[in-house]
Amino acid sequence: MWGTYYFRWWLAQHLIALCHVKWFQASPIMRLYLSAMGAKIGEDAIISEVEAGAIDLVTIGAGASLGTKLKLANVRVVGNEMIVGRIDIGADAYVGTSCVIEDGCSIGQGAELKDLTSVPSGTRIGAHEIWDGSPARKVGMVDEAELPAQATATSGRRALHTFVYTVLLLVIPPLGLLPIFPAFWVFDRMDSWLDIVDRSYYLAAIPLFAWPTSFALVILTVGFIALVRWAVLPRVKEGVYSIHSWFYVRKWAVALTTEVTLETLSSLFATIYMRTWYRLMGAGIGKDSEISTNLSGRYDIVDIGDKCFIADEVVLGDEDIRRGWMTLASVTTGSRVFIGNDGVVPPGANIPTGALIGIKSKPPANELMSEGDTWFGSPPIKLPVRQKFDGGGANWTYEPPWWKKAMRATFEAVHISLPTMLYITFGTWAVQWFGQTILDRNYGAFIFYFIVSSVLISVAMTAVVIGIKWATMGRYQAQVQPMWSFWAMRTEAVAVMYWGLAGRVFLDHLRGTPFLPWTLRLFGAKIGKGVYMDMTDITEFDCVTVGDYCALNSLCALQTHLYEDRVMKVGNVHLGKGVTVGAGSTVLYDTQVGDFAQLGPLTLVMKGESIPANSEWIGAPAEPRTYEKQAAAAA
C-alpha cells in the first residue's frame, strides 16, 4: 500500500472515472471502449454498468451478458497489501445484477450467476453451472435446450446501429445542456431588473440571481427529459426484444438521456417531488409513496402501491439481457411495501402488501411471498418476526397532515435548488475573476486561474456542506425519529447535499487517498490513522468510528440508519484496528467489528451483531468464512 505502483494504479482509475463509462452500457461502444482499455472482449458480449479494478486483466467471452452494477474487484486491499489478479468470464456466460467478482476467479462457458451473487477470490465456476447467493454456491445446471438461439443481425445493421449509438453519445450530452440557456435567460432578466452598477454589489448579489435560475434549471430539465421520453419512447410493453431492434436503441437513448440529465436532477431523489416526476414520465406511483432510484426508461411497466418506500440505489425491474434478447416484465407492489438500499427486484416481481425486502436483498419467487413477509439476504431467507416501531402515530409516519406536507415541500425546494445555485454562483465569480485573460489571449494565465478556481470551488462547496451539517444537525447521536419529523427532513437534506454536491465535486476524487479521512473528520466521523477508504457511503458521520489501518474497499458502506416502517433508526458503527471490509459490503448500525477482522465481498453485517477480532466473515447475512466450504462449493 501507498507505494509507487499503487499511486500509478490510483491515478489511472481516477482518469478512467472521468470518462462517464456508464453512458456506454449495454451498447457496442462499451465493447470498443473496454477493448481499447486493454480488456479482452468477445464478439456480441453485452456489458452493462461495470466497475473494474484492473480492466486489462479481464477477459469476457463472446456472447456473454453482464448485468448492471457489476463490480469486478480484481484489485482489492487487505491490511497493508494491494492484491491484483485476473478475472475470466467465458463465452455465453450470464452475470446478473449487483454481483461482485474478486481476483483469481474464472466463470465457465455458459455459466450463470444470479442477482446479488458474490464470487470470492480464487473461485472456479464450471461450464453451464448456476451459482447463487453471497457467498456464491452451486445451485444447479443451465438447461441449454431452454435457452433461445443467439439474436442475429446482418453486418450492415450492426454497422448502422454502432454508428447510431456513436451519434447519440455525441449529441445527447450536449442536448442535456439545453435547459441551461432559458435558465440563464432568467438570470439575465433579473440582472437587468435590479440594474446593479457597482461591481462589488453585483458580485455579492449573484446568489440572489442564481437561486431563481436554479429553480428554472431543475424545472426545465424535468420538462426536457419528459419531452424526450414521450417523443422517442411513447410506450413500453412487456415482452422480449432483440438488442438489434430499433426499440432497443430507442429505449437505450431514453436511458442515456436520463443518465445525462441526472447531473441536474439528482437532488430530486428521496424528496416529495420524486413521485411527481415519475408520474410525469408515465410510471404508476401510489399516493404518498417515497422513491429514490432510477427507472431508466421502464416507466410504463412499473406500478408502485400507496405509501411504499423504495430506498436509494434499488434496482427495480431492470431489463434482463441474455443471448442478445432483452426481456421486459412488469414490476408491481402492494401498499406499504419497503425495499431497502441496493435491493434487487427482478422483472416480473409482484411484491405483496406490507412486505419488506431488506438492504442488499432480493425477493423469492412470487408464489413464495405473502402479505407482511420479511425477506432478507442473498439468497433470500424469510425472517419469522421483525422489530416494528410506531414512530409516534400515523401523523408522523403514513398519514401526515397537509401542513407537514407543505412544510416538507417548501424545505425540499430550497435544498433541491441549493447545489445548482452554488454551481452558478461560484462559476460566475470565477469567470468574473479570470475571464479577462481569455479576451487578452493570455492562455497561460487562463489555465493557471482555471485550475486554481476549480480547486477552490470544489473546496468551497464541500465547506458549505460541512457548515450546513453542523448548523442544522450538530452532532449525530443514536436515536429514533419518525419520517415526517423536522429532524428527519433536515438529515435527508444533509445526505442529499453530501452525495450530490460534496461527493461529486470533491470527495469522490479523494477516494483511495489519505486526504479523504481528513475531510470526513470535518463532518464528524472518527477515523484513525493509515486508513484506506475507496468509498464515501457514510451518512450520520458522528456515529461512525473507524480504527487505525482499516481498509474499506470500493462500494462498501457503513450504514448508520434504516427507515423501516417510516421510522428512522440511527445507531453507531464501530470498526476496530486493522479491519478489512470487502467490495460491496455493508455494515449496519449498532455493530462492533473486532480488530483485524476481515469481511468478504458483498457481506452484510446485520444490526446489533458483534464480529470477533481476528476472524473472517462472508455472506448476506454474514457467516464465518470457512475455506473448506468454499472449496467444496467450487468442486
**CATH code for the domain in which residue 81 is found:** 2.160.10.10
Are 421 and 306 in the same domain? Answer: no
Buried b (16+ CB within 10 A) or exposed e, 476-500: beeeebbbbbeebbbbbbbbbbbbb
Q: In what order do the strands lie in the sheet with 561-562?
A: 479-482, 567-570, 561-562
| Residue 313 cell numbers, joined | 440505489
Banded model confidence at residue 557, pLDDT cuts 50, 70, 90: very high
Is 193 inside a domain boundary?
no
* Sign of the CA dihedral with 295 first, then 297, 298, and 300 last: positive
Q: Single out the residue in 361, 386, 411 at which a domain terminates.
A: 386
Is 228 inside a domain boundary?
no
Spatial contact of 582 and 76, defined as CB atoms under 8 Å apart: yes
Distance of CA 115 to the CA centre of its chain: 16
* pLDDT tens figures, 71-117: 999 999 998 999 999 999 999 999 999 999 999 999 999 999 999 99
Percentage, residues of the chain above pLDDT 70: 94
Q: What is the C-alpha to C-alpha distance for residues 363 and 114, in angstroms, rounded to an integer?
A: 12
Structure confidence at residue 434 (pLDDT): 79
Is 476 inside a domain boundary?
yes
* pLDDT tens figures, 389-439: 655 666 777 888 888 889 888 888 887 888 888 888 888 888 877 777 777
Residue with cell 442477482: 115
Are 362 and 450 in the same domain? Answer: no
Structure confidence at residue 391 (pLDDT): 58
Q: What is the C-alpha to C-alpha distance for residues 191 and 293, in angstroms, rounded to an integer?
A: 37
Q: Single out the residue in 356, 386, 416 at which a domain terminates.
A: 386
Is 247 inside a domain boundary?
yes
The average pLDDT across 187-204 equals 67
The average pLDDT across 581-602 equals 95
Q: Single out the residue in 128, 147, 166 at which a domain terminates.
A: 147
Number of domains the chain contains: 3
Is 202 inside a domain boundary?
no
Global pTM reads 0.91
Q: In what order do the strands lie in the sheet with 87-89?
A: 40-41, 58-60, 87-89, 105-107, 124-125
| Amino acid type, 399 | E
The average pLDDT across 228-257 equals 92
Are 476 and 570 in the same domain? Answer: yes
Is 160 inside a domain boundary?
no
Q: Which residues contact 470 (CB under 8 A, 6 or more apart)?
A: 524
Q: What is the C-alpha to C-alpha distance for residues 242 and 180, in angstroms, rounded to an integer?
A: 36
User: What's the chain's average pLDDT?
Assistant: 89
Are 415 and 356 in the same domain? Answer: no
The average pLDDT across 502-512 equals 92
Are 461 and 373 in the same domain? Answer: no
Is 55 inside a domain boundary?
yes
Are 445 and 357 in the same domain? Answer: no
Are 307 and 419 in the same domain? Answer: no
Query: Regarding beta strands 129-132 and 137-141, do their DSSP bridges make them parallel or antiparallel, or are they unpaired?
Result: antiparallel
Are 368 and 407 in the same domain? Answer: no
Range of the domain at 499: 402-628
Structure confidence at residue 393 (pLDDT): 65
Banded model confidence at residue 633, pLDDT cuts 50, 70, 90: low
Spatial contact of 361 and 380, defined as CB atoms under 8 Å apart: yes
Is 547 inside a domain boundary?
yes
